[in-house]
Structure 1
Amino acid sequence: MRQLLDCPAPAKLNLFLHVTGRRADGYHLLQTAFQLIDRSDLLHFTLRDDDAICRVTDVPGVPEESDLIVRAARLLQAEVIRRTGRTPPGVDIAIDKILPMGGGLGGGSSDAATTLMALNTLWQGGLSQQELMDMGLPLGADIPFFLFGRTAFAEGVGEALHEVDGPDCWYLVIEPGVSVPTAKIFSSEHLTRDTPLVIMADFSRHYAKRSQLGGFGKNDLQQVASRLFPPVAEAVEWLGAYGDARMTGSGACVFCAFDSEEQVDAVLAKVPAAWNGWKAKALERHPMLS
């Protein structure tokens, strides 16, 4: 096998996101629920005749050397060399970039996770899912979740993952037209860092009630992002007229859950032209794992 094409890197939504503390090293302690959705970047991998790792698609604002895709591929290549003593062939990586950067959808982390899964297959690396998760964590706190590949209740810095049942629903997602830098949100003096811990069982019980698509917890980062980026606040207010609208991750995207595709279509038709709105279905499992 010399190619793997059309490899999906799905987006995630944070159904809630609480900041519960801060470690001595500056990392924030979180509790969150990650939900995969069926809107994805697509990656294409073609092995080379040398050992070079090359991103063959230009990604505006992301130099190749700092791209998580390239960094993940090189990290895995080095690990395969260490384990086997053989140098796996290089690879050309192309990407159809659909997910917005700075949107809180985890696009860069998902791209890196799909890269690790695909190249572990192409290179016959033999790394386990947990070994890939451990490898991905230093690159980005969300990467282990995408490798975990199922709806998850997460704690710590996002790496302590427990499979849970999330809502089986449709989402309307709004891109408010701004890119939110994660570091700017977490460094804000207005960020609360002492939200009381919640219990995973309470989250599961909440979503076991089919009528409750939202309403569990909140996103502690939302008030900071709304303050710094008014379009986020405007999107939350507008979408909030139709349900429990909230921001995902550190922003900027805002989402709301609906029972049916017909319901989400009706609201999608009303999204102001200044914003990019789209619908997505909740995924139970990462498509690369099925």
Structure 2
Amino acid sequence: MMRLPAPAKLNLFLYITGRRPDGYHNLQTLFQFVDFGDELGFEEADELTLSPALPGVEPENNLIIKAARLLQAHTGCTRGARIHLTKRLPMGGGLGGGSSDAATTLVGLNRLWRLGLGNDELAALGLQLGADVPVFVHGRAAFAEGVGDIFSDAAPPEPWYLVMNPGVEVSTPAIFTDPDLPRNSPVLSLEQHLNSPWQNDCEALVKKRHPEVAKLLSWLLEYAPSRMTGTGACIFGTFDSREAAEKALKNAPDGAFGFVARGCNRSPLLTALDAL
């Protein structure tokens, strides 16, 4: 079985710069991968199957199966595959787990089925599944604009992170339709952002709607500069060493759980593919 990582991402900053006539939002964000995430296994089969099933998600609604079906339809491929998912990332946590799973599926099945599609073509397919999927296919830290679909390579520092999950699921549509969401952040260049303090425009609203996020973030801020990623609910603190991050994790409040990981400007997915 070919095993490939589906790494988590962090939004190192997230600014909402306006609302478009179609209801979507223009934003500016900086994506970086971490060396922790889900894992997918692929092997040839007559049918297309996924195991285990995710609680509350019908297989055909899972982004993994959707990605596989999309690749079959695009290429006319009639092969199947057994896909095994090792799920480590929380759903609705802002870590991009579903999008990363979809991207790894596109890349993995392209390799397994020997289709020969390039990354640009796979990324274009991925965009049909979600705005974040092309970034995971591309596999490099990126400054994203538009609705998150226009991106350019970036090289932020690669510190250690402590990522904490408050145990609540945040609805992204609910956040983006809330009238209290700030929508007027100035449009800046990446260089301007890199030389300014970073923040997440969704954070204050999520903390208001989900006190669990506010409480855990207040705790983590005692140890390191910390923010929310995406539309939440996960938060992250930035540390100079693994040891410092692990020490903070040992002091986490009862009921809270998280992981320590290194920031990666080159996705662990690309590293795994190099080794095949």
Instruction: Confirm or deny a common fold (TM above 0.5).
Output: yes
CA apart distance, 1:216: 2.9
Residue 245 (structure 1) aligns with: 226
Aligned to 1:59: 54
Alignment TM-score, normalising by the size of structure 1: 0.90
* Equivalence for 2:109: 119
Q: Would you say 1:230 and 2:230 are equivalent positions? A: no
Contact kept, 8 Å, 1:72 with 1:116, in 2: the verdict is yes
Residue 288 of structure 1 deviates from its aligned partner by 2.4
**What corresponds to 2:68 in structure 1?**
73
2:179 is equivalent to residue 179 of structure 1: no
CA contact (8 A) 1:16 1:216 kept: no
1:151 alignment partner, one of 127, 141, 162 = 141
In structure 2, list runs of 5 or more residues that go unmatched: 272-276
Q: Pairwise mapping of residues 163-242 of structure 1 onto structure 2 (< 5 A)? A: 163-204=153-194, 206=195, 216-242=197-223
Point out 4+ residue stretches in structure 1 off by more than 3 angstroms. none
Q: Distance in 2 between matches of 1:239 and 1:161?
A: 30
Query: What secondary structure is seen at the aligned counterpart in 1 of 2:39?
Result: strand
Letter in 2 for 1:224: L
Partner of 1:265: 246
RMSD: 1.2
CA distance in structure 2 between the partners assigned to 1:241 and 1:26 by the alignment: 38
SS in 2 for 1:157: coil
Query: What does the per-residue CA deviation read over 1:45-91, in whole Å, with 9 as the maximum and x for residues that have no partner?
Result: 12112xx322121111221111110001000011111xxxxx33111
Q: Name the amino acid aligned to 2:33.
A: L
Query: Would you say the 8 A contact 2:162–2:260 is kept in 1?
Result: yes
Aligned residues with identical type, % of pairs: 48
Pair 1:108 & 2:105 matched: no
Q: CA–CA distance in 2 between the matches of 1:222 and 1:62? A: 27
> Who is 1:42 aligned against?
39
Please state how far the C-alpha of 1:225 moved relative to its aligned partner.
0.9
Q: For the Cα contact (< 8 Å) 1:153–1:162, is it kept in 2?
A: yes
Equivalent of 2:24 in 5, 27, 35: 27
Which piece of structure 1 moves more, 13-22 or 57-66? 57-66
- Tell me the matched-pair count: 271
Contact 2:93/2:169 (8 A) holds in 1: yes
Q: Is the 8 A contact 2:166 2:256 kept in 1?
A: yes
CA distance in 2, matches of 1:96, 1:115: 13
Specify which of 9, 13, 19 is matched with residue 10 of structure 2.
Answer: 13
The letter of the residue matching 2:30 is A
Aligned residue identity for 1:266: K
Q: What amino acid is aligned across from residue 221 of structure 2 in structure 1?
A: G
Partner secondary structure for residue 242 of structure 1: coil
Cα distance in 2 for residues equivalent to 1:63 and 1:223 = 33
Q: Tell me the SS of whatever aligns to 2:148.
A: coil
Unmatched runs of 5 consecutive residues or more in structure 1: 82-86, 207-214
C-alpha contact (below 8 Å) 1:21/1:30 kept by paired residues:
yes
Equivalent-residue separation in structure 1 for 2:9 and 2:166 (angstroms): 17
Amino acid at match of 2:72: Q
- AA matched with 1:24: P
Instruction: Report the secondary structure of 1:79's partner residue.
Output: helix
